[in-house]
């Protein structure tokens, strides 16, 4: 009788559980039994592993073989267990030393020819292994860079099972050649890129290295107030609603927001990369996402595609793919009301909990939301002499699709007016470029981070209202105008807190130590849309 064990990782959302893969050989009729709550793709690994072992030059044991996946109560799926199963079987058959694999985490799919194919979710899997105390991992060669992002872990990237057997047995390592023809896309990367998961649809608009062309804010003609709102949103992490007629530039503004956000920190990069790796939209060869992601789902998106879900174990939705970046909902009133209202919880908590029969998954979802909306179904309601024929009841129904509780969580509500002829022809001068605004945003965020050091918060939008009213106080008398608006019913209690947060951001942008009455006026005008003259006097400049 032979026994050996190896380790792999089962992913539940973006969190991993280390699984012990045990192989037991006993005398009897040759059979292969796999136990431990495997799904269909994992059950099929019996045939993949057998063919891969034989085609790698090793002998398949002709005995009763039982492979157990522990803990048995955790659902396990995917083809990433193949490598660990194969090594556990070879260890039980004494083809390799069982002691050499007992504390090694192995992640990878096996082809019938013995090649090791990459799988999704390598980064979160290796993170889970490191947290569990494992220091050696074996992954496919194509994902070795992704696994190496985890500090304190020794990573071995292999191209085939034959190579891994040689390494574990202290034998000469064969040189495996790529079988794909030159000039053709590598079929080995097919498992990393899931069709329809986001590539080409805006879910991975910014490259992982931050390279390539980014739309520049200088391309936007006029729109001084929306430009200010964009800088305030980026500096403080405030959600933004852009409303106005078609062609005013709402989409152009939203597309330029991610470029003025600061570069992700190391921890934020790992969080974003883990989500993109699990979702299958991490570009090959770019293992670490360093720029804020940009996600722009179509207005026909379902609630499951926005917040996460699907058959079996829930998968990340758009709110998770936009984690630490921008979620842009163009034509927001055209989205399903249920889908929009499902955003209310992650907007507050920064994560989403999806419960299904297969399990409960907690996914990160701290994003900056930008809504773009027309004033009515035809879009001409606010234009003088434009011929809007929408009846008042239709206009009210259209605007009511953005519910009050959802809008109460949006700090900035800006009307984007049509561009004038002078601005379009450049007679009013070009606005600030992305680089200039991004530098000012970085300075404002650094000022906020210094003020909030040691609190666990990094941006003004995360500060609780109690702190704003008791510890982080505005200048004396600065809140009089906001208090009057609250008494008149223009602001809720949550709305007052959000005005204070925006005011702190406005103060950070102009380099002030605390908000003055003018900053509160700017924040009120950006939230309520009621002109108070503050923006005309220069806003945060």
pLDDT of 359 = 74
Query: What pLDDT shows up at residue 385?
Result: 66
Report the SS3 class of residue 10.
Answer: strand
Backbone phi and psi for residue 446, each to the nearest 5 degrees, phi listed first: -65, -40
**CB within 8 A of 168, min separation 6: which ones?**
87, 96, 97, 100, 101
CB-CB neighbours of 54 under 10 Å? 13
DSSP string, 364-392: E---EEEEEE-SSSSS-TTSTTS-----H
pLDDT along the chain (541 residues), means of 10: 92 92 94 93 93 95 95 90 97 94 96 94 96 96 93 95 95 78 60 54 42 73 90 96 91 93 94 91 82 92 88 83 95 94 92 81 93 90 77 91 91 89 69 92 95 90 89 89 87 88 95 92 88 62 55
For residue 473, count other CB atoms closer than 10 A to its CB: 14
Non-local (6+) Cβ contacts of 195 within 8 A are none
Other beta carbons within 10 Å of 462: 16
Q: What is the pLDDT of residue 57?
A: 93
d(CA 364, CA 189): 26
* CB neighbour class for 536 (10 Å; exposed up to 12, middle 13-18, buried from 19): exposed
User: Other CB atoms closer than 10 Å to residue 28's CB: what's the count?
Assistant: 9
Query: Which pLDDT does position 203 carry in this prediction?
Result: 42
Alpha-carbon distances of 15 from 125, 193, 275, 313, rounded to whole Å: 7, 20, 10, 12
Q: Cα torsion for 523, 524, 529, 531, to the nearest 10°? A: -100
Which residue in 516, 499, 498, 494 sits closest to 507, CA to CA?
516
CB 82 within 8 A of CB 45: yes
Q: Give the separation between CA 515 and CA 185, rounded to whole angstroms.
A: 55
Distance CA(1)–CA(148), nearest Å, equals 37
| Strands 136-140 vs 154-158: parallel, antiparallel or unpaired | parallel
211 CB neighbour count, 10 Å cutoff: 10
pTM to 2 decimals?
0.88
- 363 is written with which tokens? 């996914």
Answer for the pair 164, 91: CB distance below 8 angstroms, yes or no: no
3-state secondary structure of 22: strand
Determine the pLDDT at residue 71: 94
**What pLDDT, on the 0 to 100 scale, is given for residue 190?**
63
- Residue-level pLDDT at 201: 41
> 308: phi > 0 → left, psi -120 to 50 → alpha, else beta; which?
left
d(CA 106, CA 122): 10
């Amino acid at each position: 009788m032979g026994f050996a064990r190896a380790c792999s990782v089962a992913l539940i959302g973006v969190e991993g559980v280390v699984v012990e893969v045990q192989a037991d050989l006993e005398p009897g009729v040759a059979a292969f039994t796999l136990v431990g709550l495997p799904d269909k793709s994992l059950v099929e690994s019996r045939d993949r592993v057998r063919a891969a072992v034989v085609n790698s030059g090793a002998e398949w044991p002709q005995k009763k073989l039982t492979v157990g996946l522990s803990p048995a109560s955790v659902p396990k799926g995917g083809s990433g267990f193949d490598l660990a199963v194969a090594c556990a079987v070879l260890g039980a058959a004494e083809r390799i030393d069982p002691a050499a694999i007992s504390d090694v985490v192995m992640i990878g799919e096996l082809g019938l020819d013995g090649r090791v194919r990459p799988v999704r979710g390598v980064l979160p899997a290796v993170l889970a292994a490191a947290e569990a105390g494992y220091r050696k991992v074996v992954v496919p060669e194509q994902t070795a860079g992704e696994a190496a992002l985890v500090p304190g872990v020794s990573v071995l990237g292999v191209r085939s099972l034959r190579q891994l057997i040689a390494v574990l047995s202290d034998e000469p390592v064969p040189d495996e050649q790529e079988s794909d023809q030159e000039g053709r896309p590598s079929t080995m990367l097919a498992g990393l890129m899931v069709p329809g998961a986001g590539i080409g649809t805006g879910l991975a608009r910014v490259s992982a290295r931050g390279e390539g062309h980014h739309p520049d804010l200088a391309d936007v003609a006029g729109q001084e107030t929306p430009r200010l709102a964009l800088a305030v949103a980026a500096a403080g992490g405030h959600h933004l609603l852009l409303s106005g007629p078609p062609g005013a530039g709402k989409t152009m503004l939203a597309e330029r927001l991610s470029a003025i956000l600061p570069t992700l920190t190391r921890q934020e990069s790992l969080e974003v990369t883990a989500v993109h790796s699990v979702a299958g939209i991490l570009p090959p060869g770019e293992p670490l996402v360093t720029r804020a992601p940009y996600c722009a789902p179509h207005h026909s998106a379902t609630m499951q595609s926005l917040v996460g879900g699907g058959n079996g174990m829930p998968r990340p939705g758009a709110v998770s793919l936009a984690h630490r970046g921008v979620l842009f909902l163009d034509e927001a009133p055209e989205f399903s009301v249920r889908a929009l209202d499902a955003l209310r919880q992650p907007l507050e908590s920064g994560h989403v909990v999806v419960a299904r029969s297969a399990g409960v998954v907690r996914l990160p979802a701290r994003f900056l939301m930008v809504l773009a909306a027309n004033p009515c179904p035809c879009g001409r309601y606010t234009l003088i002499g434009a011929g809007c024929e929408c009846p008042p009841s239709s206009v009210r129904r259209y605007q009511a699709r953005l519910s009050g509780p959802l809008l109460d969580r949006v700090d900035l509500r800006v009307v984007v007016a049509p561009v004038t002829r002078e601005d379009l022809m450049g007679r009013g001068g070009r606005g600030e470029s992305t680089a200039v605004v991004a530098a000012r945003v970085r300075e404002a965020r650094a000022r906020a981070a210094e003020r909030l050091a040691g609190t666990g918060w990094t941006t003004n939008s995360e500060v609780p209202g109690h702190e704003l009213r008791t510890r982080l106080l505005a200048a004396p008398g600065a809140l009089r105008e906001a208090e009057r608006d609250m008494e008149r019913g223009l602001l809720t209690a949550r709305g007052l807190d959000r005005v204070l947060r925006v005011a702190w951001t406005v103060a950070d942008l102009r380099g002030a130590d605390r908000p003055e009455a003018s900053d509160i006026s700017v924040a009120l005008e950006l939230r309520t849309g009621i002109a108070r003259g503050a923006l005309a006097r220069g806003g945060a400049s």
